[in-house]
Amino acid sequence: MDAMPEARTLRVDAERNRRRLLDAALELFSERGLDVGVGEIAARAGVGRGTLFRNFASKEDLIAAIVGERMREAAASGRELLDAPDPEEALFEFLQQMVGQQQSDRALFDAVHDTFLANSEIAAAYAELVGVIEQLVARAQAAGVVRADLGALDLIVMVKGLCEAATALHHVNPHIAERQLDLVRAALRPAAATEPLRGRPPTIDDFKRAFPAPGAAAGAAKAS
Amino acid sequence: MDAMPEARTLRVDAERNRRRLLDAALELFSERGLDVGVGEIAARAGVGRGTLFRNFASKEDLIAAIVGERMREAAASGRELLDAPDPEEALFEFLQQMVGQQQSDRALFDAVHDTFLANSEIAAAYAELVGVIEQLVARAQAAGVVRADLGALDLIVMVKGLCEAATALHHVNPHIAERQLDLVRAALRPAAATEPLRGRPPTIDDFKRAFPAPGAAAGAAKAS
DNA sequence: ACCTGAACACCGTTCAAGT
DNA sequence: ACCTGAACACCGTTCAAGT
């Protein structure tokens, strides 16, 4: 397999523009939230507005591309922790990292559980991340330091929620995320499991059904 | 104190329009989220677009008015539970109610911790609600069923986050909010408090400083 | 092929004219 | 006093014209 085909003539410029747009957008979103205009993003990237829409079908797609990148980075960082000696510390170290990341890119992640899981790029990156967390949880459960009836997605729901609510207060009470993580830790301790959790653990299929990809409707496809 | 002054001539119509706008907006927001247009809201209320802006300075203020109403209702419902015999059940019954309400008005509450606490009407309603929760928590702590180092706002942050994250999955996994509340309960149990929570509990002042009211800037007021 | 910026459509907000 | 809807400003998206 002869790897990458030779670089196409002008494609290198296009690729550089795409990169610049992603970087400019991340900067502006982090500074001032998701409602910065596309014109300003294009300006900071040093390109015209049309170029933004040549690279990304919509502003929402631009955001999805950034979120997807961050998720793949998080999954990579979690995989490294699978080699750490202490399964309990490994799990909570990873959670702490996720919280930290979401605090710095708050506006970006706010939208993830809302609408963006419908985006196929994000959905794939998310499944990868969930897989890593499942392994971290399973390892901690095997070591007997986390209650056995907890699903990885139970934990994700907790932490995702905690991030959104705690981040707003971070700059006036910087230890609030740590407190919340301490409470999560207390919740997961086997000694605290005096009664089983109600219902069943959420699954990745739950998420897929909650955020169906557009155009993937079930039933007979009617010609239109 | 001779109560309400006699009703002004046409004000009764204005008041009715205001009510209709609030009801129409709540309906539409619940059905389709916060990005329904003001034109459509005014149309469902049976008034012109201008009337909406005569009653509310902006779309954001309209949302704030609705959120404020719901918070006052929640506070009233929590006060009733202060008379319930079992302090532990009273606290978690109240949390369950809050989760249920936020699930039906999801879009509305999403914005609360973000920007709307800067609105003075919401801030007042919020302080009232926090006061009730503080009493419910204190009662449960006095009975020894909740760890002593927990602040009321620790709990609010947890539950607020849990709601946002769990609501999206509710229609595919209806027990997910209950599972999350079970985890909260496990986190609060004195037996799970094997180590103290890091940092200090969040305070109402933290919230006020995190969401300063516009125009309430500190320092000398320069004439402009 | 890719880039650009003028033009379009849409939505929150204002305001002159009505009653 | 209050209501209305046309007009304005703003922002995401498209597209004809450039290189």
CB A160 to CB B160 under 8 A?
A: no
Angle at A82 between CA A123 and CA A185, to 5 degrees: 85
Q: Which residue, B216, B15, B26, B221, is CA-closest to B117?
A: B216
Q: What is the pLDDT averaged over residues A43-71?
A: 94
Asked if B49 CB < 7 A from strand C, the reply is yes
Q: Summarize the confidence of residues A144-148 as an average pLDDT.
A: 96
B194, A189 contact by CB (below 8 A): yes
Q: Is the pLDDT of residue B136 over 80?
A: yes
Interface touch B193/A199, C-beta < 8 Å: no
For the record, the structure tokens of A123 come out as 């959905």
Q: Write down the pLDDT at residue B161.
A: 78
Q: How many CA atoms lie within 13 A of A52 on its CB side?
A: 24
Q: Does residue B106 carry a pLDDT above 50?
A: yes
DSSP run (H or E) holding B174: none
Q: Is B186 on the interface with A (CB under 8 A)?
A: yes
The b/e string for B194-219 (b: 16+ C-beta within 10 A; e otherwise) is eeebebebbbeebbbebbeeeeeeee
- Quick one: how far is CA B19 from the chain centroid? 20
> Which string of b and e fits B40-57 if b means at least 16 CB within 10 Å?
ebbebbebeeebbeebbe
Task: Copy the structure tokens of residue B164.
Answer: 């946002």
What is the DSSP-derived secondary structure letter of residue A2? -
DSSP string, A143-174: TTSS-TT--HHHHHHHHHHHHHHHHTTTTT-T
Distances (CA, A) of A65 to A23, A25, A118, B155: 11, 11, 13, 34
For residue A3, what pLDDT band results from cuts at 50, 70 and 90? very low
Whether CB of B38 is under 7 Å from strand C: the answer is yes
Contact criterion met (CB below 8 Å) for A30 and A110: no
pLDDT confidence band for B214 (50 / 70 / 90):
low
With an 8 Å Cβ cutoff, are B193 and A178 in contact?
no
What are the backbone dihedrals phi and psi of residue A133, each rounded to the nearest 5 degrees, phi first?
-65, -40
What's the CA gap between B167 and B104, in Å, rounded? 9
**Which amino acid, A201?**
P
> Which residues of chain A neighbour B166 with C-beta distances below 8 Å?
157, 161
Question: Of all helices (H) and strands (E), which one includes residue B169?
Answer: none
pLDDT of residue A217: 37
CB contact at 8 A, A188 and B185: no
Q: Could you say which DSSP state residue B212 is in?
A: P
Distance A28 CA to C2 C1' (A): 25
CB-CB contact of A150 with A188 (8 Å): yes
* Cα A65 from Cα B128, distance rounded (Å): 42
Pick out residues whose CB falls under 7 Å from strand D: A 35-39, 49-50, 53, 57-60; B 8, 10-11, 13-14, 17, 46-51, 53-55
Q: Which residues 6+ apart lie within 8 Å of A181 measured at CB? A: A92, A95, A96, A99, A162
- pLDDT number for residue A66: 92
C-alpha–C-alpha distance, residues A162 and A176, integer Å: 10
Q: Which residue has the higher pLDDT, B131 or B160?
A: B131
Contact: A164, B168; criterion CB under 8 Å? no
pLDDT surpasses 50 at A1? no
Give the nearest partner residue to B192 out of A191, A197, A210, using CB atoms.
A191
* B39 Cβ within 7 A of any nucleic strand C atom: yes
DSSP, res A135:
H
Quick: pLDDT tens for B61-102. Answer: 999 999 999 999 999 999 999 999 999 999 999 999 998 888
Written as one letter, the residue type at A165 is A
**Does B192 touch chain A if contact means CB atoms closer than 8 Å?**
yes
Q: Which of residues 87-116 of B touch A (CB under 8 A)?
A: 110, 113-114
Report the nucleotide nearest the CA of residue A48, measured to C1': C4
- The tokens describing B140, both together, are 């449960």
Which pLDDT does position A4 carry in this prediction? 43
User: DSSP secondary-structure letter at A47?
Assistant: S
